[in-house]
A and B are shown apart, each in its own frame.
Chain A
Amino acid sequence: MLSRLVRLPSFWVAAVILLLVLLLGVFGDVLAPSNPLKGSSEVLAAPSLAHPLGTDYLGRDVLSRILAGSPVSVLGAIEVAGIALVVGSIPGLLSVYLGRAFEWLTLRIIDTLIALPFLVFAVAMTALLGNGINQAMLSVGILLAPVFYRVARAAALQVSSSPYVEAATLSGASASWVLRRHILPKVLAPLGISAAGAAGTGLVIVASLTFLGIGVQPPAPTWGGILASDLGYLDYQPYAPVFPIVLIVLTVLALNLLADVLRDASGQSGRVMLKKRALRRAAKKRRRSSAPIPQRAGELT
């Protein structure tokens, strides 16, 4: 799988962007050149050497605020995807095995979660449960779980009716053995694809919540919170929202790209695609090397 991935150029684009964003997420606090909470008299200053991205309405350095806000925004997205993965995929796998009552119940709960207006529920749950970042992660994670439930369930349904699983069951394999040995490897790729997508959605939702001032206390910097404070001063700094927006959109694009690449590279179709690509490249190389002799090139194509 990985050996196939590294041959795709778009994988490298996504990987490099995501690695940079992850670095921001882990070391953002340390990298900030000045105190993100300390104001100064230079209010709404334009970008300069001292403040590469300018200052905000309290004279705080925007670059430092963006860097210091990265951990909550980036690690939050990862945490959300992780919670959704666990909360969604485990019942999804078990729904195939634990009998009709469990299946019916979980299906109805998932139907319900899909029908809920996402952001309103995320806002309501977070604020009512105590308005902290952990409450925000938990509620967004639960609301994102249906994606994983469906993916895991679909993959498990497909595999569990295949002949080799039937053979294993007939030879006396237990449900847990079948799950671990046959179903888990098949489910991992689609779950990875969904996880990349869910991390993108999670990033946007966490940014939306922090934009609304929900899940964090005001002076603490977040990407969404920076956008919210920029919004009030658009007349003075119409370019200010560009910095956090570029970060958010670039990260989401990279995550979507990663999901697409994973989809392309996984499974039979991915193998076929890569083989075709290699053949085409080989043909091109041969054509180029034989370019001086036109009649042979004509033969080849």
Chain B
Amino acid sequence: MSIEAELASPGGRTRAAPAEASVALLRARRLAMTVLRPVAVFVPVFLFATFITFLLGAITGLSPAYVQLGDAATPQAVARLNHQWGLDEPFLVRYWNWFHALLQADLGKSWINGVPVSELIAQRMTVSLSAAGVALLIGIVFGALLGLLAAVTATSLLDRVITAFVSFISVLPPFVVGIALVAVLAVGLHLLPSAGYIPISAGVGPWLSHIIMPAIALSLDTVAAIARQLRTGLVGAYQENYVVGARVRGLGPRRIFFVHVLRNGAGPSLALLGLHFPNLLGGAVVTETIFALSGYGVFAAQSALHGDVPAVQGILVVSIVLVVGFNLVVNVLLNRIAPAAARGI
């Protein structure tokens, strides 16, 4: 969000400003902090992560000669191929070339068929992002519902049932849930197709029926994390002095909940969402195998098994970018709903 947009839509219930200019200045400063501080954290993360990615490819000792020629490789052929791919240069030079190309969205070419890696990944990304997106939605909606319900009825029987249920689903790994869903919903009851993917352009119904089971399998971890954290956060916020104060001043329970409790109690859950996003991307490797989706997770596993280093590096870089980008968004949101949280993260 730009500073102009921020100023054009002053957020919600701010106190009447005595001096417009100073408020605008403060807000601009806060926005700058919102954007710059995370950048200071995430740029090193991005640099380190991409360096680790490159290092991983370098220390494997794999080369296109190994992938393309196999046992039939002669030393001359290997040297020729290595030279052709620029692998005979020093490590740092290769790293610099790779990183330089990376910044221009050029992830190199696959060692197996010479197709640009970015093209290969782009073809598969829609499948994975649909599953991860629906999973994220399920995680937020159901996690928030369960957490809210447990917090509102804290210490009651319902609260205990929800807490027990959440602890149970939090230990279920995605592949267990995925297999159980296939066995029950697809094989047992014939309700949903067990495998495959249909693009959303062919209709939302068929698309959702193919994507919903992998999404559920992926989402349980997020549901559990959000529900737990939201319950803790809301119960904690209800005990704060400002809630007691609001009650004493005669504010209605609905206003207390939405303005005072939810805003302060939901911050940690949102931060947790950022921490759990990598799991949504990572779980794709397993769920895509179960549901026979040709997404980036399956592509990662196969490329890695075939020793196609540029493809694997490309996937890792894309996932790093997604995680870092998502966490930046979470940070900005967090700063909007609870400015005090900006200091901690």
Contact residues of A with B, CB < 8 Å? 108-109, 111-112, 114-131, 200, 204, 207-208, 211-214, 224, 227-228, 230-231, 234-235, 238, 241, 245, 248-249, 252-253, 256
Can you show 19 pairs from A to B with CB atoms below 8 A apart?
A: A115-B49, A117-B282, A118-B282, A120-B282, A123-B300, A124-B312, A124-B316, A126-B304, A208-B286, A211-B286, A212-B285, A227-B175, A234-B179, A234-B183, A241-B179, A241-B180, A245-B180, A249-B176, A252-B171
Q: Which of A112, A120, A129, A234 contacts B281 (CB 8 A)?
A: A120
User: A208-B285, A227-B179, A256-B171 are known contacts; what are 6 more A-B pairs with Cβ within 8 Å?
Assistant: A111-B44, A117-B278, A119-B282, A234-B182, A238-B187, A248-B176
The answer to whether A117 and B312 have CB atoms under 8 Å apart is no
With A128-B57, A128-B62, A248-B173: A119-B283 Cβ-Cβ less than 8 Å: yes
The answer to whether A124 and B56 have CB atoms under 8 Å apart is yes
Q: Does B323 contact A (CB under 8 A)?
A: yes
* Alpha-carbon distance between A168 and B208 when the two chains are bound, in angstroms: 64
The answer to whether A115 and B187 have CB atoms under 8 Å apart is no
Closest 3 CB pairs of A and B: A127-B304, A119-B282, A117-B282
The answer to whether A208 and B179 have CB atoms under 8 Å apart is no
- The chain A residue sitting closest to B297, CB to CB, is A120
Interface centre among B48, B173, B194 (most CB of A within 10 A): B173
- When distances are taken between beta carbons in the complex, the residues of chain B under 8 Å from A214 are 301, 304-305
Number of B interface residues at 8 Å Cβ cutoff, please give it.
52
Scan B144-188; emit 1 where CB is below 8 A from any A CB, else 0. 000000000000000000000001100111111001101100011
- When distances are taken between beta carbons in the complex, the residues of chain B under 8 Å from A248 are 173, 176
Q: Does B324 contact A (CB under 8 A)?
A: yes
* Alpha-carbon distance between A213 and B173 when the two chains are bound, in angstroms: 17
The answer to whether A117 and B281 have CB atoms under 8 Å apart is yes
The answer to whether A123 and B285 have CB atoms under 8 Å apart is yes
The answer to whether B45 and A111 have CB atoms under 8 Å apart is yes
Q: Which of B176, B182, B327 contacts A245 (CB 8 A)?
A: B176
Scan B39-78; emit 1 where CB is below 8 A from any A CB, else 0. 0010011001100100011011010000000000000000
- When distances are taken between beta carbons in the complex, the residues of chain B under 8 Å from A231 are 179, 182, 290
Q: Which of B57, B275, B305 contacts A114 (CB 8 A)?
A: B275
With A124-B56, A252-B171: A108-B301 Cβ-Cβ less than 8 Å: no
* Alpha-carbon distance between A204 and B176 when the two chains are bound, in angstroms: 10
Q: Does B279 contact A (CB under 8 A)?
A: yes
Q: Does B216 contact A (CB under 8 A)?
A: no
The answer to whether B315 and A124 have CB atoms under 8 Å apart is yes
The answer to whether B179 and A115 have CB atoms under 8 Å apart is no
* Alpha-carbon distance between A130 and B305 when the two chains are bound, in angstroms: 9
Judged by DSSP, the binding face of A is helix
* Alpha-carbon distance between A125 and B55 when the two chains are bound, in angstroms: 11
* Alpha-carbon distance between A127 and B308 when the two chains are bound, in angstroms: 10
| Interchain nearest-CB distance for B274 vs A (Å) | 9
The answer to whether B316 and A112 have CB atoms under 8 Å apart is no
The answer to whether A212 and B301 have CB atoms under 8 Å apart is yes
The answer to whether B316 and A120 have CB atoms under 8 Å apart is yes
Scan B172-212; emit 1 where CB is below 8 A from any A CB, else 0. 11111001101100011000001000000000000000000
* Alpha-carbon distance between A245 and B279 when the two chains are bound, in angstroms: 20
Interface centre among A112, A120, A200, A238 (most CB of B within 10 A): A120
| Interchain nearest-CB distance for B320 vs A (Å) | 7
- The chain A residue sitting closest to B309, CB to CB, is A128
- The chain A residue sitting closest to B44, CB to CB, is A108
* Alpha-carbon distance between A5 and B279 when the two chains are bound, in angstroms: 33
- The chain A residue sitting closest to B289, CB to CB, is A212
Interface centre among A108, A116, A204, A253 (most CB of B within 10 A): A116
The answer to whether A249 and B285 have CB atoms under 8 Å apart is no
- The chain B residue sitting closest to A241, CB to CB, is B179
Q: Does B319 contact A (CB under 8 A)?
A: yes
Q: Does B265 contact A (CB under 8 A)?
A: no
Q: Does B267 contact A (CB under 8 A)?
A: no
The answer to whether A120 and B187 have CB atoms under 8 Å apart is no
- When distances are taken between beta carbons in the complex, the residues of chain A under 8 Å from B283 are 119
With A124-B315, A125-B56, A127-B304: A119-B285 Cβ-Cβ less than 8 Å: yes
The answer to whether A109 and B48 have CB atoms under 8 Å apart is yes
* Alpha-carbon distance between A119 and B197 when the two chains are bound, in angstroms: 22
With A120-B316, A200-B171, A227-B175: A115-B279 Cβ-Cβ less than 8 Å: no
* Alpha-carbon distance between A119 and B298 when the two chains are bound, in angstroms: 12
The answer to whether A211 and B171 have CB atoms under 8 Å apart is no
- The chain B residue sitting closest to A239, CB to CB, is B183
- When distances are taken between beta carbons in the complex, the residues of chain A under 8 Å from B49 are 112, 115-116
The answer to whether B48 and A117 have CB atoms under 8 Å apart is no
The answer to whether A238 and B305 have CB atoms under 8 Å apart is no
- When distances are taken between beta carbons in the complex, the residues of chain A under 8 Å from B139 are none
| Interchain nearest-CB distance for B121 vs A (Å) | 12
Tell me the B277-315 residues at the A interface (CB within 8 Å): 278-279, 281-286, 289-290, 297, 300-301, 304-305, 307, 309, 312, 315
The answer to whether A123 and B319 have CB atoms under 8 Å apart is no
* Alpha-carbon distance between A118 and B218 when the two chains are bound, in angstroms: 14
Interface centre among A129, A211, A248 (most CB of B within 10 A): A211
The answer to whether B286 and A212 have CB atoms under 8 Å apart is yes
The answer to whether A120 and B182 have CB atoms under 8 Å apart is no
